[in-house]
Every structure is written in C-alpha cells, then in structure tokens.
C-alpha cells in the first residue's frame, strides 16, 4: 500500500488488511503477515471487543463533558486500531507512556474506566497508580513524556534487564503529529539513539495538530524523522489493526533484545474534535470525514472476522451488552467522584521526602486550619523565591 503527502509523493505504508476487511498479501510483507497469522480467532475477537469498548468509552466521556461533568476531554474516535493493535503487542513487563488520547491502550492495559477520567474531572492529578498497570498517567504537556519514556528506558538498561525478546523490557511512548514539532520529542530521539535505549516512538498521525494539517508541519513523511535520528522507522496503515500489531511487535522485540529504539508512524484520522473545546467544522470538510468514515477500523476488523466465520450475532450482542454496562458504570462512577483533597497536590512530587515540599505542605495544612504561623509562612515564602 502507498499513501501520499501534500505533494502527492507516494509513501510506502504497511497494510495487511484493506478497508473492506480483506487480508493483503503485498510483496515484501511476509514477515509481518507471519506475525499477524499468530493471532488466534480469540485474539482477534478480543481486539474487536476492546476497540468497541474504547469507542463506547469515548462516546460516554464526550457526553459527560457536554453535560458539565468533565472539564475537558480528548476524543479518540477513529484511532482505535492504532491504539488497541499496538497495545496487544505489549508484554506485561513493558511500560507505556501515553499522551492524553490513548484510551484504547489503557483499555488493553486494564486501567479502570472511571480512573481514566479523574484527571479530566479535576478530582486527581493522575488517576491511577502507574506501577499497577505499567502505564504512566496522561501527559498534557505536548511531547514532554517522550523524554520521560526515554529516561525510563535508559533506566531499564542500567538495571541489567535480560536481553530477550520475550522476557526483556521495552518502553513505548505515544504522541501525535503535532508533537513531532516539539523540541522534547526530538531531544528524546537523540538520547534514545545515542544510548540505544529500548524505547518505541509510536506516532499516531491523525493528520491534525488541533486545526493545523500535517502539510503545514512537514514537507516529508513523518516516519522519516526517525530515520534521520538513526533508528528503524516504518509507516503503517493506522486503521489496520493487524499491520499495527505486527509492526509494533517487531519494534518491541528489537528493543527487548537491546537493539535500540524504533519509530512507527500510524497513519490514521481523528474523526472527532481535538478536544471538546474544539470545533473541527471550522477547518475541515464533511467530505474529508466521509472518506475516512469508510475506512473505519472497527468495521474493517468486523468484516474480516465475519468473512472467516469468527464473528456471529451472539458475540456481537455480548460485546454490545458489555459496552452498555461500561456506559452505565462510567456515568455513575464519574458523577460520584468528589473534587479530591487539595493537600494531595503535595503527594508524589518526588520519589523520596523533600524538605521544601514538606514545609509547603505544613504551611498549607496550617492555612486550611486557620491562619498559618508566621515562621511557617516565612519558610514557605523563602522556598518559593519570595513569590506568593
């Protein structure tokens, strides 16, 4: 498969499943096809289920924000294959650094649906314990987490983790096309390649950095950014869950074996708004959206499963029932969240106790109880450089 950029240059793109749900046997893709062939019918139905549940989560979260229950929300509709396919390639010991739109990745990693929305409701600074699921909390600062992922991967090296494609540890970080213009992402790739860090840079190119199209950000395909830094790089059809899985599995195995970082560009489309504060009708047409609606990743996988006799109405009904249950639980769970204790701001700032943070916490607790003692105020004010 080839896609084009703004100058109509043909770009090689890995595809194993076409928009009609037919397996593709393009020359040169046998290694990837073999990886996808290892997925059992049960695996594929699991992918279908997680993609459907991710979309239902997305719809419910968007509705909750419109009803005033969330301050903001970043939809992921249309990107389910890129997220679920890549997450299925992860092993339990691998670590994920998401941005703020990787709801499908967190679905596969088992992060509770209500916990995923604590941050967007403003009741928590994160939402879940990253060590419980080997998945970091959402990062809203564009591209900053690419450095965190690379640092974590360098730590994995220094911990002496086994170099084994199954038992080794890899790190994956997700970001969008707009983040490739950020210095943090490029700096992370410098550190990753120089140190041969076991990290996969997974770009979800949904073609819009808020309202800026990719053509306004780059003159060359984005996967070539990785090549420029000296790492194996590949563009895949981001609406093809099989291609995404195979490409990510290969990159993660390379990382676990100590062969350094990789760069994957999943070429997809953001069917909804950038966030619920955005109005995409101001910068793109419904004709564009219709083209990508016909490439829907869930419909594509469903067509494959039906053609191969692995998806019946009973299973579809079961998944729909699970989606309905998710919706009910998410609505009631989010509405039951309180605002959180303000003093929790001081929790988990550093890995170990810190004197300045401790003094500021003491001052705040005294303030909440009444007027803080003058000496505590002086300590806090000094720690903050004299600024209140």
What's the rounded Cα separation, in Å, for the pair 293 and 227? Answer: 31
Establish whether 274 is a catalytic residue: yes
What's the rounded Cα separation, in Å, for the pair 277 and 273? Answer: 8
Establish whether 148 is a catalytic residue: no
Under DSSP, the state recorded for 284 is: S
Phi/psi for 201 (5° steps) reads -90, 110
Establish whether 216 is a catalytic residue: no
User: Of the residues 116, 274, 295, 300, which is catalytic?
Assistant: 274
CB 170, CB 262: distance < 8 Å: no
Q: Shortest CA distance to 269 belongs to which of 251, 284, 248, 252? A: 284
What's the rounded Cα separation, in Å, for the pair 241 and 352? Answer: 41
User: Of the residues 283, 293, 294, 335, which is catalytic?
Assistant: 283
What's the rounded Cα separation, in Å, for the pair 56 and 81? Answer: 14
Distances (CA, A) of 143 to 44, 102, 138, 357: 31, 14, 11, 26
**3-state secondary structure (DSSP) of residue 11:** strand
Task: Please enumerate in sequence order all residues whose Cβ is within 8 A of that of 347, keeping only pairs 6 or more positions apart, or say none.
Answer: none
Q: How many residues make up the chain in this entry?
A: 388
User: Of the residues 49, 235, 270, 295, which is catalytic?
Assistant: 270
Residue with tokens 């990508």: 292
DSSP letters for 110-152: T--HHHHHHHHHTS-SS-S-HHHHTBPPP--STTHHHHHHHHH
Residues annotated as part of the active site: 270, 274, 283
């Amino acid at each position: 498969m080839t896609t084009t950029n703004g100058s109509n240059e043909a770009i090689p793109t890995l595809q194993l499943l076409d928009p009609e749900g037919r397996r593709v046997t393009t020359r040169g893709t046998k290694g990837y096809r073999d990886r996808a062939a290892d997925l059992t019918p049960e695996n594929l139905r699991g992918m279908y289920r997680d993609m459907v549940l991710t979309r239902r989560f997305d719809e419910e979260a968007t509705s909750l924000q419109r009803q005033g229950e969330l301050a903001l929300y970043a939809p992921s509709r249309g990107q389910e294959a890129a997220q679920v396919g890549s997450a299925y390639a992860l092993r339990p010991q691998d670590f994920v650094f998401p941005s703020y739109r990787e709801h499908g990745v967190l679905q596969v990693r088992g992060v509770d649906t209500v916990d995923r929305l604590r941050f967007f409701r403003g009741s928590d600074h994160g939402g879940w314990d990253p060590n419980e699921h080997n998945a970091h909390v959402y990062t809203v600062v564009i591209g900053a987490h690419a450095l965190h992922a690379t640092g974590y991967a360098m730590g994995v090296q220094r911990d002496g983790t086994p170099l084994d494609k199954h038992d080794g540890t890899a790190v994956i970080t997700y970001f969008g096309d707009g983040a490739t213009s950020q210095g943090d992402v490029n700096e992370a790739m410098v550190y990753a390649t120089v140190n041969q860090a076991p990290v996969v840079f997974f770009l979800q190119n949904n073609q819009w950095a808020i309202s800026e199209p990719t053509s306004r950000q780059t003159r060359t395909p984005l996967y070539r950014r990785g090549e420029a830094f000296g790492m194996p790089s590949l563009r895949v059809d981001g609406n093809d869950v099989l291609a995404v899985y195979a490409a990510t599995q290969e990159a993660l195995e390379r990382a676990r074996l100590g062969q350094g970082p990789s760069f994957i560009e999943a070429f997809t489309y953001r069917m909804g708004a950038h966030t619920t504060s955005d109005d995409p009708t101001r910068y793109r047409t419904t004709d564009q959206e219709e083209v990508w609606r016909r490439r829907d990743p869930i419909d594509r996988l469903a067509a494959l499963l039906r053609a191969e006799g692995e998806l019946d109405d009973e299973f579809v009904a079961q998944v729909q029932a699970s989606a309905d249950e998710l919706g009910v639980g998410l609505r009631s769970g989010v509405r039951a969240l309180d605002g959180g204790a303000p003093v929790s701001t001081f929790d988990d700032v550093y890995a170990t106790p810190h004197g300045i943070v401790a003094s500021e916490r003491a001052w705040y607790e005294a303030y909440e109880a009444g007027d803080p003692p003058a000496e505590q105020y002086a300590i806090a004010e000094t720690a903050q450089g004299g600024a209140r």
